[in-house]
């Protein structure tokens, strides 16, 4: 099977796995006309690499709406900012799909008027996350925006996996000491998945830890001790996309646990970078759009959503940010390099082995922060 055909099949397959990702054209004339007549601005709190400069320029040109873009690097940053500001100051924020249990009790988001959302342009499985996982406060409080995975990125000129696929364990390996990186809490989860494969944890332990606090402490005590013993092998702890890129390009990192976007973007620029799902399975997520209770620019919000759900701008943005779009047909507007990257990142049964980030209860987030801090401060 050719790469192009294999890629098409693979992307259709993964875009159909809405449950696995967290579920327990031309703008519409009426919307765009209204946006143009109102003009104004929109205040967006979103992941730091999700709105490329060209995307913003083209949106502003098409709508007359000025985008005030505040980039963030973590879900904790979004939640903490919204709690501190009591939901004020932004019109759109971008929580990840699995954080619904943390957002529901905060009562800081409003349901969308779905009559103003062209949800039929979005992959149905991902669109269903909103009314199911985020169907609180009497409506749909979340819309899919960008999806991706976390796996292994590396410098092809300095390192290569020992087998057909890399492993989360490569980040902690003695032979790579001083040349690796990861985000503390997720690389600890990756370490746990690796520990399961080598018999240091029972199979399924990391996912069982999401079920109750006692089980989580039992599992994470072992994982944290294992990670602390090997912390001196990790060079950089990252928390955003730019840190990942800089580490691979300028800081001597040869392999790391990364999001797919940063290494893919570097690869698109011709850098000697590769990203691939590890043998334990990459971790999948969908970042969305939510409307805080303090949102003021309502017409502009729906114009922003309408533009985000147009295949052409969504597809062209893929080549710059390196992630994936849930918009139907967006991939047709991405370059040939995207299709090649996708096939190389998820070879063989990689898509069947995706690990969706489970929904995180508030107690889980609190306990994880405790263990994360113990590791970081060790």
**Per-residue three-class SS string for 223-238:** HHHHHHHCHHHEEEEC
Q: Are residues 131 and 190 in the same domain?
A: no
Looking at residue 334, what DSSP letter applies? S
**Residues 182-220: tens digit of each pLDDT:** 999 999 999 999 999 999 999 999 999 999 999 999 999
Helix axes 336-345, 311-321, angle to 10 degrees: 60
**Do 341 and 324 form a contact (C-beta atoms < 8 A)?**
no
Question: Are 43 and 89 part of one and the same domain?
Answer: yes
Residue carrying structure tokens 């502003």: 60
**Pair (20, 32) in one structural domain:** yes
Q: Same structural domain for residues 142 and 158?
A: no
| 343 and 258 both lie in a single domain | no
Is 349 found in the same domain as 203?
A: no
Q: Taking 70 as the threshold, does the pLDDT of residue 4 lie above it? A: no
Rg (CA), the chain: 20
Q: How far apart are CA 222 and CA 226, in angstroms?
A: 6
Q: Are residues 115 and 213 in the same domain?
A: no
182 and 126 belong to one structural domain: no
Give whole-number Cα distances, 295 to 75, 329, 346, in Å.
Answer: 19, 30, 39
- 240 Cβ contact partners less than 8 Å away, ≥ 6 residues apart: 48, 71, 72, 73, 74
State the residue range of the domain holding 272. Answer: 150-283+357-376
Q: What is the predicted pLDDT for the residue at 138?
A: 84
Residues 228 and 251 grouped into a single domain: yes
pLDDT for 278-337, tens place per residue? 999 999 999 999 999 999 999 999 999 999 999 999 999 999 999 999 999 999 999 999
* Phi/psi of residue 267, nearest 5 degrees: -60, -40
13: CATH: 3.40.190.10
Q: What is the pTM of this model?
A: 0.86
φ, ψ for residue 164, nearest 5 deg: -70, -25
**What are the tokens at 242?**
């730019």
Number of domains in the chain: 2
Mark whether 133 and 7 lie in a shared domain: yes
Judgement on whether residues 252 and 364 belong to the same structural domain of the protein:
yes
Where do the DSSP E strands lie in 23-85? Answer: 41-47, 66-72
- Do residue 17 and residue 110 come from a single domain? yes
8 A C-beta contact, residue 288 and residue 97 = yes
Of 101, 131, 126, 129, whose CA–CA distance to 114 is shortest? 131
pLDDT at 39: 73
Tokens of 225: 């001790």
Query: Distance between alpha carbon 374 and the CA centroid of its chain, in Å?
Result: 25
Q: What is the mean pLDDT of the chain?
A: 90
The pLDDT confidence band at residue 1, using thresholds 50, 70 and 90, is very low
């Amino acid at each position: 099977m050719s790469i192009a055909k294999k890629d098409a099949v693979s992307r259709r397959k993964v875009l159909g796995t809405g449950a696995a990702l967290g579920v327990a054209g031309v703008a519409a004339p009426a919307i765009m006309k209204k946006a143009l007549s109102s003009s104004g601005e929109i205040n967006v709190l979103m992941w730091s690499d999700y709105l490329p400069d060209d995307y913003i320029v083209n949106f502003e040109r098409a709508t007359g709406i000025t985008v005030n873009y505040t980039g963030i690097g973590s879900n904790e940053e979004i939640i903490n900012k919204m709690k501190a500001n009591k939901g004020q100051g932004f019109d759109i924020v971008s929580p990840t799909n699995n954080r619904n249990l943390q957002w529901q009790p905060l009562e800081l988001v409003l349901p969308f008027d779905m009559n103003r959302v062209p949800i039929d342009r979005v992959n149905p499985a991902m669109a269903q996350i909103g009314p199911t996982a985020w169907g609180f406060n009497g409506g749909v409080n979340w819309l899919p925006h960008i999806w991706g995975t976390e796996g292994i990125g590396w410098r092809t000129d300095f390192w290569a996996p020992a087998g057909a696929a890399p492993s989360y364990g490569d980040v902690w390996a003695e032979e790579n000491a001083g040349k690796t990186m990861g985000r503390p809490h997720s690389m600890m989860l990756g370490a746990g998945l690796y520990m399961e494969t080598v018999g240091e944890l029972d199979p399924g332990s990391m996912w069982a830890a999401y079920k109750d606090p006692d089980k989580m402490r039992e599992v994470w005590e072992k994982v944290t001790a294992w990670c602390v013993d090997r912390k001196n092998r990790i060079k950089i702890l990252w928390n955003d996309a730019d840190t990942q890129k800089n580490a691979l390009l300028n800081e001597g990192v040869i392999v790391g646990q990364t999001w797919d976007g940063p290494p893919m973007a570097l690869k698109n620029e011709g850098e000697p970078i590769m990203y691939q799902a590890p043998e334990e399975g990459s971790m999948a997520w969908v970042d969305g759009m939510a409307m805080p209770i303090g949102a003021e620019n309502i017409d502009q919000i729906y114009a922003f959503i309408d533009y985000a759900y147009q295949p052409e701008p969504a597809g062209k943005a893929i080549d710059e940010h390196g992630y994936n779009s849930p918009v139907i047909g967006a991939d047709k507007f991405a370059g040939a390099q995207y299709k090649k990257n996708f096939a190389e990142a998820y070879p063989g049964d990689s898509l069947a082995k995706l690990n969706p980030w489970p929904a995180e209860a508030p107690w889980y987030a609190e306990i994880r922060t405790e263990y994360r801090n113990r590791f970081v401060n060790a």
